[in-house]
Amino acid sequence: MKILLTGANGQVGHSLNQKLSPLFKVFALTHENFDLTNVIEMEKIIDDIKPNLIINPAAYTFVDQAEKDPELVFKINFKAPEFLALKSKNLNIPLIHFSTDYIFDGLKNKAYCEDDQANPKSIYGKSKHDGDVSIVKNNPNHIIIRTSWVYSLKGKNFLTTILNMAKVQNSFSIVSDQIGAPTSATHIANIVCEIVKKIDEIKKNNLYGVYNLTNSGKASWYDFAKAIVNNANELQLKIKCMPKDINPIKTDDFSALAFRPKNSLLNNQKIMRIFGIKSPSWQNELKSVMNGIVLDRKNDN
Ligand SMILES: NC(=O)c1ccc[n+]([C@@H]2O[C@H](COP(=O)([O-])OP(=O)(O)OC[C@H]3O[C@@H](n4cnc5c(N)ncnc54)[C@H](OP(=O)(O)O)[C@@H]3O)[C@@H](O)[C@H]2O)c1
């Protein structure tokens, strides 16, 4: 099977490439060589490669910056997925895409299910929601993985930000009234790889659709930050603070350009039931990802 993978330098794209490349012929394309704003080029590349499957983790993901540049954000998060859906439908191949908790307003008092009413409150959330809707409309053979609070050891994300802050600051404040499920890019890649292996069964039994996928359990950003600092201390990383040095603050006390949902929890029952998937707790997953820092160091020496 030939897979065209976009955004191969992103958190999820990179993890997917690592996981899928030993098993399939993966064309791992980065922003540089597959630009989602250039439809003519994208079409040429897809026609050259002739993939059996397209996986699109590339997206505009700077949530605050998105408020200032809606035109570019909608081009990348709505028009490009719309094109990929039309093109993959035309080639009669499936499309795997990624969605976000930001399509919800966060007012539900339970975890969101796949078909709950979307009500995005930010440019990023609106653009991603339009992307989801256009894929559902234009290629019935889609898998949309909706996830939240993605982190990895690569790039700029909550884990790397907290580690960098803890290296130089004795204390800091983190929002405690938004809840969600921290989810590692590795976990997403592991599960998507299982789904790719089952693509024939998915076709045969028409298991296409939207699937929530996060690590299990729930946390506030404050809980997540404390766990990162706790693990960093256990791993004897050089940091300047302890979990007790992190102060909880309210969303209203933290100035951010974009709206963030207070409740980002996604109900994982559907993916567990249909694909028999088990999600490790976010705490165990975080420990296992952070153990990678020490392993990387040992390999470097
Ligand atoms: N991060 C989260 O917390 C989170 C939460 C829920 C859902 N999601 C969704 O999960 C998916 C993967 O997210 P992620 O965390 O892996 O994002 P990421 O690390 O920000 O990676 C996104 C990738 O997209 C690329 N990209 C940006 N503009 C592009 C363009 N015009 N053409 C081609 N590539 C472009 C970026 O390349 P450059 O860096 O070179 O620009 C980057 O490699 C996305 O669909 C995102 O919306 C993420």
Global pTM value: 0.97
- Indicate the pLDDT class of residue 255, thresholds 50, 70 and 90: confident
Which atom of ligand 1 is found nearest the CA of 155? 19
181 lines ligand 1 (CB under 6 A): no
185 CA closest ligand 1 atom index: 16
Ligand 1 lined by 57 (C-beta under 6 Å): yes
Q: Is 11 in the pocket of ligand 1 (CB under 6 A)?
A: yes
- Predicted local distance difference test score (pLDDT) of residue 301: 54
**Does residue 246 belong to any structural domain of this protein?**
no
- Give the N- to C-terminal CA distance of the chain in Å, as an integer: 38
Q: Is residue 60 part of a domain?
A: yes
pLDDT of residue 77: 98
To the query of whether residue 124 is one of the catalytic residues in this protein, the response is yes
pLDDT in tens, 97-117: 999 999 999 999 999 999 999
In a domain, 27, yes or no: yes
40 falls within a domain: yes
| Structural domain boundaries, residue 108 | 2-152+183-216+261-281
Query: How do residues 146-203 score in pLDDT, each as one tens digit?
Result: 999 999 999 899 999 999 999 999 999 999 999 999 999 999 999 999 999 999 999 9
Q: Please work out whether the CB of residue 76 comes within 6 Å of at least one atom of ligand 1.
A: yes
Q: Is residue 125 part of a domain?
A: yes
- Could you tell me the distance, in angstroms and rounded to a whole number, from the CA of residue 104 to the centre of ligand 1? 19
Backbone angles phi, psi at 273, to 5 degrees: -70, -45
3-state secondary structure of 8: coil
Domain for residue 267, yes or no? yes
Of 94, 195, 91, 188, the closest CA to residue 135 belongs to: 94
**Residue 288: what residue type?**
S
Joined tokens for residue 267: 């109900």
> What's the CATH code of the domain at 11?
3.40.50.720
35 CA closest ligand 1 atom index: 32
Number of domains in the chain: 1
The answer to whether residue 56 is domain-embedded is yes
Structure confidence at residue 28 (pLDDT) = 98
Distance CA 32, CA 194 (A): 28
37-59 confidence digits (pLDDT tens): 999 999 999 999 999 999 999 99
Residue whose CA is closest, atom 38 of ligand 1?
31
147 in contact with ligand 1, CB cutoff 6 A? yes
Per the domain annotation, does 114 fall within a domain? yes
